[in-house]
């Protein structure tokens, strides 16, 4: 599974290479350089489930180029997106595309003060370790 995640990450970095802008800031004599993602645009990753789930059919997941956040997924002919999904530049206006796009009644956890309380336990510590190690 780790190899699959690494392959997805390598694929994503290659796809983003032409879209990423290098930003250099000189602040109080210190030069900082970082990469900036495009303001708009989206991409789809097809999740390949086990054969026993969803008949093994791929499940498309839509992500934002702006922040690489998961925004939603299709079910039937309708795209369901988190209520806090930023769809600027998608061409979809909620009031005009109700038959194609519906906001879920819960967010993706990307807005608000999600760091107000932090869980610390063995699974969380392990997740932190594996994230930083890879």
Q: Rounded distance, CA 5 to CA 1, Å?
A: 6
Which residue from 44, 43, 21 is spatially nearest to 33, judged by alpha carbons? 21
Whether the full predicted model's pTM is greater than 0.75, yes or no, is no
Q: What is the per-residue pLDDT across 21-59, written as a single tens digit (0 to 9) for each?
A: 777 888 888 888 877 777 677 888 888 888 877 677 888
- Tell which wins on pLDDT, 133 or 103: 103
pLDDT band at 134 (very low <50, low <70, confident <90, very high): low
Residue 89: the pLDDT is 66
DSSP 116: S
- Extract the tokens encoding 112: 């608000």
Residue 112: the pLDDT is 61
**Are 64 and 53 within 8 A, CB to CB?**
no
Q: Reduced to 3 states, what is the DSSP secondary structure of residue 23? A: strand
């Amino acid at each position: 599974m780790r190899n699959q995640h690494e392959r997805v990450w390598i694929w994503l970095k290659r796809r983003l290479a032409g879209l990423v802008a290098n930003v250099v800031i000189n602040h109080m004599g210190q030069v900082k350089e970082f990469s900036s993602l495009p303001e708009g645009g989206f991409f789809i990753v097809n999740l390949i489930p086990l054969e026993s789930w969803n008949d093994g059919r791929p499940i498309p997941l839509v992500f934002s180029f702006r922040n690489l956040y998961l925004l939603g997924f299709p079910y039937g002919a309708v795209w369901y997106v988190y209520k806090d999904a930023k769809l600027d530049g998608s061409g979809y206006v909620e009031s005009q595309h109700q038959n194609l796009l519906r906001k879920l009644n819960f967010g993706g956890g990307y807005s608000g003060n999600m760091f107000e309380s932090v869980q610390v336990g063995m699974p969380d510590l392990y997740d932190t370790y594996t994230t930083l190690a890879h």
